[in-house]
Amino acid sequence: FLDLGVQEIKESVELPLTNPELFQEMGIKPPKGVILYGVPGTGKTLLAKAVANSTSATFLRIVGSELIQKYLGDGPKLVREMFKVAEAHAPSIIFIDEIDAIGRKRYDTESSGAKEIQRTMLELLNQLDGFETRDDIKVIMATNKIDALDSALIRPGRIDRKIEFGMPDAATKRRIFAIHTSKMTLDKSVNIEELITSKEDLSG
C-alpha cells in the first residue's frame, strides 16, 4: 500500500485513538470516519487491519455484500448491533468493506431487495449520526466504486476523510510481494522482479 495512504490513515484513525489528548490540547475535533477507495487489490483491507493491530482498539469488520446476501432482512439490525458492540468495547474501529453494496445512490423502486438495501443504508446513516460525541469509535469504509456512493453517506460529519489508493509503483509492489511471500518457500525459478515489471496493472 502507498506510504501517503498509510500516513493519512494513521493521522485520521490511529492517532486519535492512541493519543486523544493531542487533539484536545489543540482544540481540534478528529475525523469520525474515513473511506478508502481505489481499484481492487491495492491494500485497503490490509491497511485497515494493520491500523487496528497497531492500536489496542477492538476491530469489527463487516462486508457490505454479506449484509444483503447472507443476512437479507437482518441488515438494519446487524448494523445497530455492530455499533452497540463498538460502544461497549471502545476504543473501537468499525471496518465496513464493500460499502458500495449498501451505500449506492438511492433510487425509486418497488423491489424488496432494493428496499432492504435502503433500510440498511438509512440505519447506517442513523448510527453514524448517533455517536457524534464519541471520539473513541472510528469508522473505516472501503470501496472500489466511490462515484456510485450516495453523497449523504460520505458528507463531512459522517465521513471526514477520503483516501485514494492508486495502482502501486514498483517499490510498493516489492513490499506487497514481501508481505504475501514472507511465509512461503518459493521455487528458485520464481523471479519476483520479473513479475513486478511484466504486468503494469498488477496490484495487491
Per-residue pLDDT tens digits of the chain, which is 204 residues long: 456 667 788 888 888 888 888 888 888 888 888 999 987 776 777 778 778 777 888 999 999 988 877 666 788 999 999 999 999 999 999 999 999 998 887 665 566 677 888 888 999 999 998 876 678 899 999 999 899 899 999 888 888 889 888 766 666 666 666 666 666 776 677 766 666 566 555 444
Comparing C-alpha atoms, which of 111, 115, 133 is closest to residue 123?
115
pLDDT of residue 85: 95
CB burial string 4-22: b at 16+ within 10 A, e below: ebbebbeebbbebbeeeee
The rounded distance, in Å, linking the Cα atoms of 124 and 51 is: 22
What class has domain 3-166? alpha beta
pLDDT of residue 160: 87
The rounded distance, in Å, linking the Cα atoms of 150 and 136 is: 26
pLDDT of residue 192: 64
C-alpha cell at 106: 438511492
C-alpha cell at 75: 441488515
Task: Please enumerate in sequence order all residues whose Cβ is within 8 A of that of 199, keeping only pairs 6 or more positions apart, or say none.
Answer: none
pLDDT of residue 112: 64
pLDDT of residue 53: 77
Is the peptide bond between 16 and the residue preceding it cis, with omega within 30 degrees of 0? no
pTM of this structure: 0.77
Three-state SS annotation for the chain: CCHHHHHHHHHHHHHHHHCHHHHHHHCCCCCCEEEEEECCCCCHHHHHHHHHHCCCCEEEEEEHHHHHHCCCCCHHHHHHHHHHHHHHCCCEEEEEECHHHCCECCCCCCCHHHHHHHHHHHHHHHHHHHCCCCCCEEEEEEECCHHHECCCCCCCCCCCEEEEECCCCHHHHHHHHHHHHCCCCCCCCCCHHHHHHHCCCCCC
Break the chain into its structural domains and give their ranges: 3-166, 168-204
pLDDT of residue 67: 81
Q: Is the dihedral of CA 25, 26, 29, 34 positive or negative?
A: negative
